[in-house]
Amino acid sequence: MDAAANFEELTVGIENTQTASTGPAKAKSGRILFDRDSRDTVGEPFVEDARMTCRDVNVYYGDKQAIKDVSLDIGRNEVIAMIGPSGCGKSTFLRCLNRMNDTIDTCRVTGQITLDGIDVYGKDIDVVPLRAQVGMVFQKPNPFPKSIYDNVAYGPRIHGLAQNRAELDDIVETSLRKAGLWEEVKDRMDQPGTGLSGGQQQRLCIARTIAVSPEVILMDEPCSALDPIATAIIEDLIDELKQQYSIAIVTHSMQQASRVSQRTAYFHLGDLIEVGDTAQIFTTPRHQLTQDYITGRFG
């Protein structure tokens, strides 16, 4: 059964539950295995041949615990979507993967996160090469107030990836091509990146991220500030990029999650509630909370 067909079925399902107004637990009781109070992870959070592994990750902001015992793998060449209501910790979890949370003084992370078998929170790990390997695209497009060229070339420059100008030009062009922006900007590389449209800016940020040849790309709601057309372009781009990179994407749009991802993780108030194939999560969720969320009961 393909994902599109499942999605159709799902939308029909939502309508059904809404019109029936008797609640999903009754309507689809046969499938729901875990009730609302259960906080154990349902489904299969682990994959063979994982690129990144997370084991029993807890994150605290001061006294407040934002992430509770989350274990999750990110496989090779897959797009994993993280969904959940606002404040559920999915962005926090994403930011742990390349230690962006280090910039927050009160933030404390326990548990183990590895990249290719190496503990990223290890004593002798330098965050600079880590972030070169695990790139990040943010919610709001944030190009540097510099030229388009300099935006993309900045990463390769600071990491010394290019020996000379020709190589740098090459990296910039390749990255912009991969980000699907080359044709639009090739004649105005010296103009400020901030002058592009929102969707172009976000693709510029993606180009900037892939210019340093990362292995994993983290995307924190990359389309939330974009219109549907720009969103569609970026979703196509994510599909292309997964040939080469592992991608973890946080999104508020369940349609987006179902379109771009192979696996989906559902977070709820700091707990990882359910992980599984995207098609399965959206058609036959096994946890009551997942069911509530994807049918639009909250979030």
Residues near another protein, by CB under 8 A: 98, 100, 103, 105, 128-132, 135-138, 140, 142-145, 154-155, 158-159, 194, 205, 208-209, 211-212
The distance of closest approach from Cβ of residue 124 to another protein in the complex, given in angstroms and rounded to an integer, is 16
The distance of closest approach from Cβ of residue 59 to another protein in the complex, given in angstroms and rounded to an integer, is 17
The DSSP output letter for 103 is G
Q: Is 267 left (phi over 0), alpha (psi -120 to 50) or beta?
A: beta
When the beta carbons of 31 and 140 are compared against another protein, the nearer one is 140
The distance of closest approach from Cβ of residue 270 to another protein in the complex, given in angstroms and rounded to an integer, is 22
Report the distance separating Cα 139 and Cα 224, nearest Å.
Answer: 7
Which are the contacts of 259, defined by CB distance < 8 A and separation ≥ 6? 235
> In terms of C-beta density within 10 A (0-12 exposed, 13-18 middle, 19 or more buried), how is residue 49 classed?
exposed
When the beta carbons of 105 and 187 are compared against another protein, the nearer one is 105
The distance of closest approach from Cβ of residue 105 to another protein in the complex, given in angstroms and rounded to an integer, is 6
When the beta carbons of 218 and 237 are compared against another protein, the nearer one is 218
How many angstroms separate the first and last alpha carbons of the chain?
28
Assigned token pair, 195 = 């002058």
When the beta carbons of 147 and 283 are compared against another protein, the nearer one is 147
The distance of closest approach from Cβ of residue 173 to another protein in the complex, given in angstroms and rounded to an integer, is 18
When the beta carbons of 12 and 118 are compared against another protein, the nearer one is 118
> In terms of C-beta density within 10 A (0-12 exposed, 13-18 middle, 19 or more buried), how is residue 158 classed?
exposed
